[in-house]
Chains A and B, each alone.
Chain A
Amino acid sequence: MSAQLAVLAALDWDLPYWAVTLIKVLVAALLVPTTALILGIVFLFKIMSWMQSRLGPQEAGPKGLLQLLADGVKFLQKEDVIPERADRFAFKVAPMIVLVSTFLLYVIIPAGPDPAVIADLPTGIFFALAVSSLSVIGVLMAGWASANKYALMGGIRAAGQLIAYELPMVLAVVGVIIQAGTLNMNGIVVAQANFKLFGDVGPGIPFIITQLPMFLIFLAAMQAELTQPPFDMPVAESELVSGYQVEYTGFRFLFFFLAEFATAFAFGAIASVLFLGGWYLPGLDVNSEWFWLIGPAVLFAKIMLVSFLIFWFRFTYPRLREDQLQRLAWKWLIPISLVWLAVTAVFKVVM
């Protein structure tokens, strides 16, 4: 996250608009692969192997930490195969659309007070929900353009799942929005810094205390949006080989991999901001300039905590069947979130 600090230093020098924009874009471009690497190494390789009582990668670098980097270089060297009957243009563009949707998510994540965010949009979280839904189009294009029935089935399953789980995700977010009274990401953090449960005493309380059901629903919906186990019907290896990714090789496959893990990190950041107070540490003054320095570290720690939860689920639970998956979304998550939304609205008006 030190790249974020570089942005802050740059802003103090009164750089022109284009220079600041350029730096911010470069930071986002660096953050996407870096965060994907961090999550991949820490969780996919190390913690997963510990949970399964095995060693995991050992050879590449100290304790096998460079394994994923080596894998990335390997992907770059592979031949770029496009199936003969594929729709070439859609096939090539699809992974890029998925990755662009990930990049756009990083735009609104605040790593500290105002200048430490790429664009502090007034519609912050709404923007995030909109751009995260763009990845569905890339997935559908990939599934269709591959000219492979397993890929097409994977794409359609992915679309059905993403549509179903977008609703509980939006409703979970709306609960927080009602309580915070703003769509702006930094506004939500400040609202949690000022939120007191009993009168006016004590430190600011993160919304997870009042929105615990919404937090759990958000985690489940996030897992489904990332198509990670137990919600990995679209890429189910045992039935569909690997779903919409089956015909992709080399760096195009790497795009999907990067997008999945970088999106996991971005959603972890959004969950941290919405429910855990983002870059704010309870007990400190929210206006303190120290948050430009420690904010990114605090946010990073919270993201790793949320990521640990979702990856723990990923390694522990077996895959849901398609009907179980749809039933969970429509018959459990959406009604519960609607009820909690009503409760939140009542308390917001009464208190």
Chain B
Amino acid sequence: MTGTVLAAAPVYLPQQIAFGLIAVTMIVAAIRVVTTKNVVHAALWLIVVLAGVAAQFIVLASEFVAVTQVLVYIGAIVVLFLFGVMLTRAPIGKEVELDNEPAQRVVGAVVALFLLACMGYVLADYFGGRKLELNGKVVAELGGTTAQISDSIFSTYLVPFEVVSVLLLAALIGAIVLARRD
């Protein structure tokens, strides 16, 4: 960054520092999710990653999305992961057969890098030249508050919302049909 850019746009130093710390924590935790030798530990590291996402939303002053992130991902999805893992097979200590073959690792790494490149390109292409001022007031004007989110869900995005609802209902009924034996 050059001095002129710094002078032109206000830099929120605490937010930058918080972003950096949370991002580093998330990256370390995400790597541990795939490298740990214990399946329960992997789920616990995943909690750290998802909590980091919620923290990033708070840095962006999007409180409602952050709370939803905690409620849905940590409070429900990871709990169901842990529940399922513990109900079936979850020994304490290291597991040898948790690792995949080298060929699968290569495929996984390629897919991960491809996704990183795609998303990085899209984000840089769209937000590269933009300056987002992130304080509470600006976020409220952009539509970050609870009332604005609900207004846009139930007006602009009503059809996608209903489609997603029906999709989830279908998944729910499908799960019950698959699980029932009679």
9-residue interface stretch from A138-146, A211-219, A250-258: A138-146
Q: Point out the residue from A130, A143, A144, A166 that lies within 8 Å of B67, measured CB to CB.
A: A130
**In the complex, are the beta carbons of A133 and B79 less than 8 A apart?**
yes
**In the complex, are the beta carbons of A160 and B83 less than 8 A apart?**
yes
Q: Does B71 contact A (CB under 8 A)?
A: yes
Q: Does B110 contact A (CB under 8 A)?
A: no
Q: Point out the residue from A134, A141, A163 that lies within 8 Å of B44, measured CB to CB.
A: A141
> What range describes how many residues of B lie at the interface?
20 to 34
Give bound CA distance, A129 to B93, whole Å: 33
Instruction: Enumerate chain A residues within 8 angstroms of B67, measured Cβ to Cβ.
Output: 123, 126-127, 130
Chain A residue at minimal CB-CB distance from B80: A163
Give bound CA distance, A28 to B119, whole Å: 42
**In the complex, are the beta carbons of B86 and A156 less than 8 A apart?**
yes
Name B39-95 residues within 8 Å CB distance of A.
Answer: 40-41, 44, 47, 63-64, 67-68, 70-71, 74-76, 78-80, 82-83, 86-87, 90, 92-93
Give bound CA distance, A137 to B74, whole Å: 8
**In the complex, are the beta carbons of B92 and A159 less than 8 A apart?**
no
A87-B92, A137-B47 known; A130-B71 Cβ under 8 A: yes
Q: How far is the CB of A28 from chain B (nearest CB, A)?
A: 19
A122-B145, A144-B40 known; A129-B71 Cβ under 8 A: yes
The 5 A-B pairs at the shortest CB distance, nearest first, are namely A133-B75, A130-B71, A130-B70, A159-B83, A140-B82
- Residues of A bordering B, CB below 8 Å: 85-87, 90, 121-123, 126-127, 129-131, 133-134, 136-137, 140-141, 143-145, 147, 152, 155-156, 159-160, 162-163, 166, 183
- Residues of B bordering A, CB below 8 Å: 38, 40-41, 44, 47, 63-64, 67-68, 70-71, 74-76, 78-80, 82-83, 86-87, 90, 92-93, 145-146
